[in-house]
Amino acid sequence: MKKVLSIGEATLDSFIFLDEANVHCTLDKSKCEFCINYASKTMATDCKFTVGGNAANAAVGFRRLGIESQLYSMRGDDWIGKQIQEVLNKEGVDSKYIDVEPGQTSFATALIFQGERNLVIYHVPREYHLPKFEPVDWVYLTSMGRAFTHAYDTAVKFVKEHDIKMTFNPGTYQLKAGVKALKPILEVTEVLILNTEEARQLTELSAKADFRELSESLYDLGPKIVVITDGPNGAYSFDGKQLLFCNIFPGEVIERTGAGDSFGTGLSAALLQGKDLAEAMRWGMAESSNVVKKIGPQEGLVTHEQLLEYLDLNHKIQPTIIK
């Protein structure tokens, strides 16, 4: 059985559904603001709590696909941390590398309105000290708190030492650190996954830059494959030769939290099992299209058998080459 190590945050996520809010967009709808009345009481229509965090989502996603899955993260010894541990144990994720400290666990709150969500995230300040990992077949490196530098340096040494392929999906603090700080990680990255906004932020290209320009600029930073997800508009991938586009699979959308994580998990799992990039994109779409049908980032994650059925159901949707 193949083995994947996910490195990053595990959180408890709360989802609050609103039907009283406003969205104000610029004329071309490239930038929108989510608005609720200031200093007022806003009634929710529903609320749900789930385990989340990019790395935990990936770890659960890999395990459901039948891949041996390990997770490095840090949590507190509070009730949130214990809830996270219970879910990981139930899912069969190997959590021997999870570091438990006294105090709080990181958490996030998602405000859901008209199928989209605004996230409020609290990363508990941590000093990450990665242990000595056993060799694995793939590493999935993703969002961590502000003090991520030492942990990322350790992860880079690990993948170099054992010649391991790595998916890199940076979080808010990593993107704010900029290209100079991320260059050593990007140079050992097999697959870089960003959404459109993140791609523009990291490249500092203008809003007029198309997906080819964004992809080529990111590719020049070192990753072997660049993937840019564009929400309900589909996703792009670039391997230095071809720019591919894959449309989303049709279906109901409840809310989109975890869509990017599940896409990255499916795509990485496919590459790990020897699929080509075009098929890997379809695996990513199969995962993300199911996740958005449920509340939270993990409930909709599928098994390997379910994924194959969904791929067959949507066999007409194939990636196309963008000239």
Give how far Cα 7 sits from Cα of 20, 50, 53, 110, 252, Å: 37, 19, 10, 22, 31
Predicted pLDDT at 119: 82
Predicted pLDDT at 225: 98
Task: Inform me whether the pLDDT recorded for 28 exceeds 70.
Answer: no
In a domain, 290, yes or no: yes
Predicted pLDDT at 323: 86
In a domain, 117, yes or no: no
Predicted pLDDT at 17: 87
Higher pLDDT, 68 or 39: 68
Predicted pLDDT at 197: 95
Task: Inform me whether the pLDDT recorded for 18 exceeds 90.
Answer: no
In a domain, 24, yes or no: no
In a domain, 313, yes or no: yes
Average pLDDT, the chain: 93
- What is the number of domains present in the chain? 1
Domain that holds residue 203: 3-7+53-104+125-322
* CA gap 167, 150 in Å, rounded: 18
In a domain, 109, yes or no: no
* CA gap 177, 127 in Å, rounded: 17
Predicted pLDDT at 30: 62
Higher pLDDT, 165 or 30: 165
Predicted pLDDT at 178: 95
* CA gap 121, 124 in Å, rounded: 10
The CATH number of residue 212's host domain is 3.40.1190.20
Higher pLDDT, 72 or 254: 72
Average pLDDT over residues 154-177: 97
In a domain, 17, yes or no: no
In a domain, 93, yes or no: yes
Predicted pLDDT at 14: 92
In a domain, 40, yes or no: no
Task: Label residue 36 by pLDDT band (50, 70, 90).
Answer: confident
Predicted pLDDT at 41: 87
Average pLDDT over residues 24-43: 77
Predicted pLDDT at 148: 94
By mean pLDDT, which of 105-119, 202-216, 229-243 is the weakest?
105-119
Task: Inform me whether the pLDDT recorded for 223 exceeds 80.
Answer: yes
pTM of the model: 0.92
* CA gap 61, 303 in Å, rounded: 8
pLDDT (tens digit per residue) in 176-215 = 999 999 999 999 999 999 999 999 999 999 889 999 999 9
Q: Taking the CB of residue 260, how many other CB atoms lie within 10 A of it?
A: 25
pLDDT (tens digit per residue) in 70-97 = 999 999 999 999 999 999 999 999 999 9
Predicted pLDDT at 254: 87
Are residues 146 and 61 in contact, defined by beta-carbon separation less than 8 angstroms?
Answer: no
Task: Inform me whether the pLDDT recorded for 27 exceeds 60.
Answer: no
Average pLDDT over residues 142-157: 94
